[in-house]
Amino acid sequence: METLDRNDLAMPEITLNPDQTTLDDILERARALLPVLRKRATSTERLRRLPDDTHRDFIEAGFYRIMQPRAFGGLELPFGSQTALGTELARACGSSSWVATLFACHAWILGMFDPQAQAEVWDEQPGALVASSFLCQKSQITRVTGGIRLTGQWRYSSGVDHAHWLIVLAAFDDPLLDGRRAFHYLLMPMRDVRVEDTWYSTGMAGTGSNDVFMDDVFIPEHRMLEAVGLRGGPTPGSAVNPGYLYSQPLFGTFSFNLVGNVIGLARGAAEVVIEALTARTSITGATISAQQSIQLRVADALSGINAAQALVFRNRDEIIADGLAGRIADLPTRARYRGDNGFATRLCVDAVDQLVPALGARGLEAGHPLQRIWRDIHTVSQHIALTWDVQGSIYGAVALGYPCPDPRV
């Protein structure tokens, strides 16, 4: 794998005008990049991280800053802009889209942190990027004066090779909270982090989701954010970012950062199959697309994808309307969002599974775009925020009056 010198991460700063850049502008730029992303998709998979050329394209298009606060040089577009971006970019390359939407959503999370932490990241470098890892492999955390000291390993930090800062999620018994075990988001500069090349995956191979290690790193109090306080309502970041984006229930709405990629992957699969079928005949000379069974497969897949997108974006519209009106989603609503995004993921995976047999043996070739999409969408569907077994259980438990299985929701 090509090694990336972190000193080379200082890309030219792009000045964005939030008063002149709309979501439509962002999506138009995304669609314009689809041909080049398709050409790079195979090399992205082989490289096992986002290519530098694609990274620069995304910086210039403003994708990473769509949810970054205006106060710190971002566009602060409406909630769900990251979802819509994923539905477009993932049509061409799921790995590239995943990294773009995650960098965008991490700026959203950082906008909830203490203003001092946001200033550290963005005051001198408005284009600074934040990676994350929410899966702790091992950790040792000690409370000290003014913060904590952290040693540990976290897994699957997508796009981390291009990041300047890192957020990890950690649970520890906090003496300042009467010894209560609490989850905290912890923010640190990448100079305090060691990245190990561990990402060898059958799907989403180009995301560079490597492991990160810290050795006795000091995290000051202002770079700590308790997760239980992020279930809707003002956050520490609201002091400088009063918009509704930064008072959203983080765990209740987090999966909107991911599910757009699922929809985009499924749409990409449908496009590949329809293009191939309209130009293909069988060995008997019959037109494959004229067979009713093939037509039903395509119709089934398209209807499933359309239903998934309608469900996700109906909820997105509800979040925007409630946010602008100052309403906070209650627990049943937050559980519904989680469940609906898990169900939408199921619909899209089923759609791709319906489409694969339509191309026969040709669609089984390892280098065929449909095979890459199949690998990618099955990998994404195993993310805990989209897995139906987990999210459906949360939705069903709350609907039936049981306590929510995840206290952070």
Full strand arrangement of the beta sheet holding 130-133: 130-133, 165-173, 181-189, 224-226
Same domain, 113 and 193: no
Same domain, 86 and 138: no
Count, residues in the chain: 409
What pLDDT was estimated at residue 304? Answer: 98
The answer to whether residue 81 sits within a structural domain is yes
Full strand arrangement of the beta sheet holding 194-196: 135-144, 147-157, 210-220, 194-196
Same domain, 222 and 287: no
Query: Which of 122, 138, 155 delimits the end of a domain?
Result: 122
User: Rounded distance, CA 172 to CA 231, Å?
Assistant: 19
Same domain, 339 and 390: yes
Query: Which of 178, 201, 230 delimits the end of a domain?
Result: 230
Residue 256 CB neighbour total at 10 angstroms: 26
How far, in Å, are 73, 317, 328 from residue 323 at the CA level?
22, 10, 7
Q: What is the mean pLDDT of each successive set of 10 residues along the chain, which is 409 residues long?
A: 46 66 96 98 96 96 97 96 98 98 98 98 96 94 95 97 97 80 94 96 96 98 94 96 97 97 98 88 65 92 98 98 96 97 98 94 85 97 96 97 92
What pLDDT was estimated at residue 15? Answer: 63
Same domain, 353 and 219: no
Instruction: Assign residue 100 the CATH number of its domain.
Output: 1.10.540.10
Same domain, 275 and 394: yes
The answer to whether residue 172 sits within a structural domain is yes
Same domain, 137 and 109: no
Query: Which of 57, 88, 122 delimits the end of a domain?
Result: 122
How far, in Å, are 65, 164, 173, 363 from residue 125 at the CA level?
12, 10, 34, 45
What pLDDT was estimated at residue 315? Answer: 98
The answer to whether residue 390 sits within a structural domain is yes
- Cα dihedral across residues 13, 237, 386, 25: positive or negative: negative
What pLDDT was estimated at residue 8? Answer: 47
Range of the domain at 66: 6-122
Instruction: Assign residue 193 the CATH number of its domain.
Output: 2.40.110.10
234 close to 104: Cβ distance less than 8 angstroms: no
What pLDDT was estimated at residue 29? Answer: 97
Q: Considering its fold, how many domains does the chain have in total?
A: 3
Q: Give the amino acid at 259.
A: V
What pLDDT was estimated at residue 288? Answer: 81
The answer to whether residue 97 sits within a structural domain is yes
What DSSP string runs through 344-369?
A: HHHHHHHHHHHHGGGGGGGGGSTTSH
User: Rounded distance, CA 326 to CA 251, Å?
Assistant: 19
Residue 32 CB neighbour total at 10 angstroms: 12
Report the SS3 class of residue 34: helix
What pLDDT was estimated at residue 203? Answer: 96
